[in-house]
Each structure stands twice: as structure tokens, then as C-alpha cells.
Structure 1
Amino acid sequence: MLARLSDTDRRSFRQGARDYSPTLMAIFSWGLVTGIAMSKSVLTLPQALTMSLLCYAGSSQLAVLPLLAAKLPIWTVLLTAAMVNTRFVIFSAGLAPHFSYLPMWRRIVLGYFNGDVIYLLFQKKSFQTGYVPGKEAYFWGMAVCSWLSWQVSSIVGILLASLIPDNWGLALAGTLALLPIMVSAIATRSTLVAVSIAGLVSLLAFDLPYRLALPLAVIAAIIAGSAADLMVERADLRRIRNSAGDSQ
């Protein structure tokens, strides 16, 4: 595959894979936890494998398992999965200016392979919008690493669930491994405000049904971050006006 790419795309693909590599153990841990949970739920082995390959969304997979076990209506399961994944609407809006030149089917494929960490690392590169040589290859370097790590770990969890003790704390290990990456993304005051508000809301809403804490935290973070940006812009505008008045 790499042989068919240009030199720029090959370098960008490898760079994307290298940038993503520090997160592989965390993703592997989460995939293993999700695979184990699916295997120990009401799903059969073929159903669990199909869910892993088609859904590729750990949070929503874990969210709907108790609903499937309780035999709730399918609309409840779908609604819960959609609510948990509302953050991908934001991710799609953030990626749209970068890949709007691509045909629809390629943008759909990009959307399937996108993920939280992929989006975060991609945005940290501060690419210009529109076509940039190597930009799509950089995305695919991360996406391929993420997808392979997730599927391998999830399938291992599904197949070997009976051999892996529940007290290994894999979910906690995966969360702790991702924390440095999330902290490094807090580069502005508005981002810090958004993260703080999201954490507070998610804690307060933790006991709500259908994992509603996650979409509520996302919405609160957007509002808080936007408000913080607006306050900073107004403060900068006042300083500019005051400086102009003093110079006169």
C-alpha cells in the first residue's frame, strides 16, 4: 500500500503512526476491556465479533450492553448509542474544512475510522484547511494504527474473556495512559475552561441513565469554551481600544 503512495504521503503516513504510537497501550487496554464485557454479556460470539468490527466505538458499545441484557426496546439501545457518540458530530465539524474536497464516500470512510485521540492529535498539527499534501496520509497513519490495535485487543478480549480476571484494572490503566495526551492538548484558557466544566458536569451527572453524562458534558464544554473565547475576544478588543485612545 505504501509503495503506491508518493514520497510525501509515505512520510506523512509513518509520521502519523509514530505520533499515535504512545497511545497504543491505552487503546489496547480499552479494547481488551470492551471485548471482555461483550463476551460476558448476552451477546453470542459471532454477535460480539460483528459488533466489534462494525461499531468500532467502545463507549457506546459498553453503554448499550446493559440495555441489551435488560431486553429494552431497540429504539432505546439506538438512542443511547447515538447520545454517547454525539461528540463525533463535533469531530466531524472540525474535520470538515480539511477534507471537504474529497468525495462523499471517502469522507464517510474517514468518519468511520476517526476517534477521540486521532482527532485530538490531528488538530494539534494545525494543518491548513483544504488540500495539503500528506495531510490525509497523516490521518490514515493514525487511523490504521488505532483500528488494528482496537480490533486485535477487542477480539482477544472476546475470545479469552474467561482467562482474564476482572480485577486486573485494565479500564483504569487505559484511562491513566490517556491522561497525559489529554492534558497536553490544553493549550489555551478557553480549552482549560471547557475541560474543567466537562469534568464537573460528567461527575454531577454520572448517575443519570443511558450514559447521559457524556453528551451533557460535551454540550457544557462547548458552551463554556465558546463563552470563554468570547470573553477573551472582548477583553482583547477593549485593550486595543484603550491603547488606541492612549496613543491619541
Structure 2
Amino acid sequence: MPAHLSEPDRRAFHEGLRTYSPTLMAIFSWGLVTGIAMSKSVMTVPQALGMSLLVYAGSSQLAVLPLLAAKLPIWTVLLTAAMVNTRFVIFSAGLAPHFAYLPLWRRLLVGYFNGDIIYLLFQKKAFATGYVPGKEPFFWGMAVASWVSWQVSSIIGILLASLFPDNWGLGLAGTLALIPIMVSAIANRSTLAAVAVAGVVSLLLFDLPYRLALPLAVVAAIAAGSATDLIVERADLRRIRNRAGDSQ
């Protein structure tokens, strides 16, 4: 891909690679855990490889494994995966103003390759909406790094699962590896409020069926972040008015 880009776009692509590179070990750990879990479930190796390549969403992949093992109806499996991935609707809405000018097939590719960390790092760049030189190559630099790291680690986990004892606690290791990345994304008070509320809601509702705790936590996080933004804006507006009154 970089060979066909202009020099500015090539630099933006490489910047995306560098921006994403600190997260690679965490993504590799999480992909390895997911691959091992799929291989040790009821899925065959070809089925696990197909899920890794086509689904490319670790949380939903792990969520449906118990349902497949219990031989529940396929609609239950699909509904659970959809509920777990509800957050991607929000991600898509956030990226839409940036890539609305692209043809449909390229927007679909952006949607497939997008992910939690990619979205967070992209938003931290604070690009203007619409076409911006280098913005799309920057996204693809992160997306390629993420996809390759995930698929390599997931496939290793699928093919070599028998070499990893169950008592190694890889699931906890993968989760712990992701925590510093998520914490670094807390950039302001609204983000902090959203994270705090999401954590509390997900813990309180953890025992709900079909992993409903996750989409409900996402909705609660959006509401908390929006409410915090509104409160901060009103407080800033009051301060501005008070300063204007004092100056008069």
C-alpha cells in the first residue's frame, strides 16, 4: 500500500503505524487469548480461522463461544454478537463525518478495519471533518498494524493452542495488557465520567444474559459523557457571563 501513495500520504501512513505501535503487544496478547479460546472450544480449526478473518472482533468472538458450546439457536448467537458490538455503531457515527466523501465500498472497508483503539487514537488527532490530506492514510497505517497483529496472534493461538496450559491465565494477561491503553485515552472530564459510569454499570449488570451488560454500559457511558459535556459548557458559559458582568 505505501508504495502507491504520494510522499505526504506515505508519511501519514507511517505516522499511523508509529501512533499505533505502542499498543501492538496488548493487541497481540488479546488476539492470542482469543485464538486459544476458539481452538479449545467446540469449533474446528478451519471454523476458528474463518471466524478470526471474517468477524475480526475479539469481544464478540469470545462472547459467542459458550453459546456455540451449548448448541443454542443461531439467532441467539447472532443477537449476542450484535449486542456486544453495539459500540461500533457509535464508532461509525464518529467516523462518518471524516469519510463520508468516500465511495460505499471504501467506507465499508473502513468499518471492517476500524476498532476500539484505532477509533480512540484517530479521535485524539482531532482531524477536521471532510477531506483532509493524509487523514485516510493515517487511519490505514493504524488499521493495517492492528489487523496484521491481531490475525498473526490469533492464528498462532488457534494452531498452537495445545502448547498453552489452561492454568496460565492468559485471559487475565490479555485484559491487563489492554487497561493501560484504555486509561491513556481518558483525555478530559467527560471521557473520565463515561469510563467510570461504564465500569460501574458493567459490574452491576454483569450477570445479565446475552452479555447485555456491555451494550447497556455503552449507552450509560454515552449519557454520562454527554451530560458532563453539557454541565462543563454551562459552567464555562456562567464564568464568561460573570467575568463580563464584573468588567462592566
Same fold (TM over 0.5): yes
Shift of 1:86: 0.4
Equivalence for 1:150: 150
Q: Distance in 2 between matches of 1:3 and 1:75?
A: 44
Question: Are 2:97 and 2:129, in contact at CA under 8 Å, matched by a contact in 1?
Answer: yes
Q: Distance in 1 between matches of 2:189 and 2:147?
A: 32
Q: Distance in 1 between matches of 2:208 and 2:103?
A: 40
Shift of 1:47: 0.9
Q: Distance in 1 between matches of 2:8 and 2:211?
A: 42
Letter in 2 for 1:55: V
Question: Are 1:34 and 1:61, in contact at CA under 8 Å, matched by a contact in 2?
Answer: yes
Q: Distance in 1 between matches of 2:184 and 2:37?
A: 30
Q: In the alignment, does 2:68 pair up with 1:68? A: yes
Q: Distance in 1 between matches of 2:6 and 2:48?
A: 38
Q: Distance in 2 between matches of 1:178 and 1:214?
A: 16
Alignment partner of 2:130: what SS? coil
Q: In the alignment, does 2:238 pair up with 1:241? A: no
Q: Distance in 2 between matches of 1:170 and 1:134?
A: 37
Q: Distance in 2 between matches of 1:22 and 1:169?
A: 23
Structure 1: 5+ residue stretches without partners: none
Please show how residues 13-32 of structure 1 align to structure 2 within 5 Å.
13-32=13-32
* Identity, % of aligned positions: 84
Question: Are 1:190 and 1:225, in contact at CA under 8 Å, matched by a contact in 2?
Answer: yes
Shift of 1:68: 0.9
Q: Distance in 1 between matches of 2:233 and 2:94?
A: 21
Structure 2: 5+ residue stretches without partners: none
Query: CA deviation digits over 1:48-104, x for unaligned, max 9?
Result: 111111000000000011111111111111110000000000100111111111011
Please show how residues 1-248 of structure 1 align to structure 2 within 5 Å.
1-248=1-248
How many residue pairs match? The answer is: 248
Query: CA deviation digits over 1:121-146, x for unaligned, max 9?
Result: 11111111111111111111111111
Any runs of at least 4 consecutive aligned residues in structure 1 with deviations exceeding 4 A, and if so which?
none
Moved more, 192-201 or 163-172: 163-172
Shift of 1:186: 1.2
Letter in 1 for 2:5: L
TM-score by length of 1: 0.97
Alignment partner of 2:42: what SS? coil
Over the residues paired in the alignment, what is the CA RMSD in angstroms?
1.1
